[in-house]
Amino acid sequence: MKINAILLYIKPLSALAALLLSANVAAESALNEVEVSANVSQIEANETAEPVVISPVTLEKPAINTAEVKKGLNNPSAQLVAIALKYKDTEVANREYAKVAETYCRAAKFGDADAQYALGWMYQNGRGVAADEKVAAQLYTMAAEQGHTRAKSTLATLADVKPESTLLACLLPDPPPEPMVTTLPSVDGTNAENKGISEKTAALFYSKASILKIVNKLAPKYEIDANLAMSFIAVESNFNVQATSPKNAQGLMQLIPATAQRFGVKDAYKAEENIKGGLAYLRYLLAYFQGDVELVAAAYNAGEGAVEKYKGVPPYAETQLYVKKIARLYNNNSHPYKENWVKESPLLKTKKTSG
């Protein structure tokens, strides 16, 4: 009887250990770059609150015990297996699971695919957190999009479960310490208040940490607001480095071969090189249209010639929707530009004359 009782205890633990130990992907840091699935159209559909003023987004390192996280994430399931094997008392085990869930969530927030997978397992199985397959599917999706093999296979078992659309509170970006307001010169030369981006837009940009890191590094060199650059990337490719349009626009900022060649881009599918080309094009368009974001967006989508021909946003459904998407994300009508750098658009001269 004793042997049978022991076997009954060991058998499920062994199965659990086998399941968890299969996720043995080494993680160099809990601060890996994140690729969290987010859809721009969802922001457009759900955005009802007044925009919150937020400075250009930067990713802050969390105040967590990184040594503890790295130890656990060398094998992301090690702590879970240890708890299962160590504690017979369910109440004690649950308290320990809860501590691990907090650690994993902090690491998952900053993009660690192993932590996202392990936390997803905890939500799927109700270990230290309330069981929730929708949240589990969301976390597995985050990890799977970073190439996490185990997350992909586990996600397939939840094919009928729609992932939760709202992020866990511990995955949301920290709010800025206080609102910041900057001024931007408008097209007519006066100062316009930068209204900032909304909380939902900020959360989207934060969630694309690998791309945001590149943009934050490059945008100042081109005198481009990082939030404007991220808005164009979001609308152009939804942050897909390998995106290719039917018109052969390529990469994050969807550069057609002619534009890529114009701004010295050799490989449009390399994130940093693509962003450099896109920023160079934006800098040119901003100078050409003297900071008018609406005209810049229209020209980026339809070409400068189309904007000149129609004396404003062309009457193309695609372009008009595109301009609205950029406006919703960036939330400003004007942007600083390099004066007397390029010859201004004839359209602006016409507007000045008629005005």
Residues involved in catalysis = 236
d(CA 228, CA 339): 19
Determine how β-strand 183-185 pairs with β-strand 191-193.
Answer: antiparallel
Return the structure tokens found at 326. 């950029």
Residue 255, phi then psi, degrees to nearest 5: -85, 125
| CA 21, chain centre distance (Å) | 29
Nearest to 275 by CA among 304, 250, 244: 250
d(CA 72, CA 114): 10
Residue 332: Cβ-neighbour burial (10 angstroms; 0-12, 13-18, 19+): buried
Return the structure tokens found at 72. 């656990």
d(CA 130, CA 219): 42
DSSP bridge partners of 184 = 192
Give 117's contacts (C-beta < 8 A, 6+ positions apart). 23, 76, 139, 140, 143, 148, 150, 151, 154
The DSSP result for 241-269, as a single string, is TT-B-TT--BTTTTB-HHHHHHTT-S-TT
DSSP bridge partners of 255 = 250
